[in-house]
Amino acid sequence: MTGTTLWCVVPAAGRGVRAGGDLPKQYQLLAGRSLIEHTLERLAVHPRIGGLLVTLAADDRHWPGLHDVRGKPVLTAIGGAQRSESVLAGLDALPERVGSEEFVLVHDAARPCVRPNDIGRLIEQGTQGDGGLLGAPLRDTLKHADGDGRVERTESRESRWRAFTPQMFRRGPLAAALREANRQGVAVSDEAMAMELAGFSPLLVEGAEDNIKVTTAADFALAEFLLARTSS
């Protein structure tokens, strides 16, 4: 694969409340290594990724102090109370030589199973325009619930996608979009949502559904299983 290399911001400043456990989920072990180390390894081995910027909680005592992974530089910055703040802090902490129009990836520390092929396709397709994100069309029937947990109605599944990471946008416009969403008091749950508010139409690039976000305690075993078999 040819082309310039890109930086990847890796938000890892969350507390992992839903996962429980003694450690924040990004530091829990999977097959003998922390979740975040698996994720950083997956990213660093990709030939199009040139550097990693990890955002950490201000009181993080578990970060292993990595300065490079597979020869790629690893920088850190302090994240914020919301994921979007952590991403913005990471964008602001990128080296100055990363220009405003350069594409930057953002990938959750909690998604260790992302496939190299999918990262490559996102970069190939997204850099033709204004960026995009990995996702997958909804497979299950979608129900809208009422307040009592009963079905109010069935919604169409057509045209509905689940959004994953990595997401990839130009550094300057993404930072501006996240700042503007924050200024408007809109809680954006991913980078694409901030870009949508700013008037962009991010490209959806279909990726493997096993790019799970480790969220609950049960997800660790699933991720361990998937990691062993999703190397491409």
Q: How far is the CB of 80 from ligand CTP (least distance, A)?
A: 6
CA distance 117 to 207: 9
Find the binder of ligand CTP among 64, 215, 221, 231 (CB under 6 A).
215
Q: Which is nearer to ligand CTP, 27 or 200 (CB)?
A: 27
Per CB under 6 A, 112 contacts ligand CTP:
no
**Which helix or strand (DSSP H or E) is residue 79 part of?**
none
Query: Of 1-9, 61-69, 73-81, 201-209, which part binds ligand CTP (CB under 6 A)?
Result: 73-81
- The token pair that represents 105 in the structure block: 């990836």
CA torsion sign for 108, 92, 120, 34 is negative
Binding ligand CTP (rule: CB under 6 A), the pick from 1, 18, 129, 143 is: 18
Which residue from 71, 120, 73 is spatially nearest to 95, judged by alpha carbons?
73
Q: Which residue is nearest to Mg ion (CB)?
A: 14
Q: Is 86 in the site for ligand CTP (CB under 6 A)?
A: yes
Site track 21-50 with ligand CTP (rule: CB under 6 A), x = hit:
-----x------------------------
Q: HEC states along 139-204?
A: CCCEEEECCCCCEEEEECCCCCEEEEEEEEEEHHHHHHHHHHHHHCCCCCCCHHHHHHHCCCCCEE
Q: Is 58 among the residues that bind ligand CTP (CB under 6 A)?
A: no
Residue 18: phi and psi, rounded to 5, are -70, -25
Nearer to ligand CTP, 1 or 29 (CB): 29
Q: How far is the CB of 10 from ligand CTP (least distance, A)?
A: 7
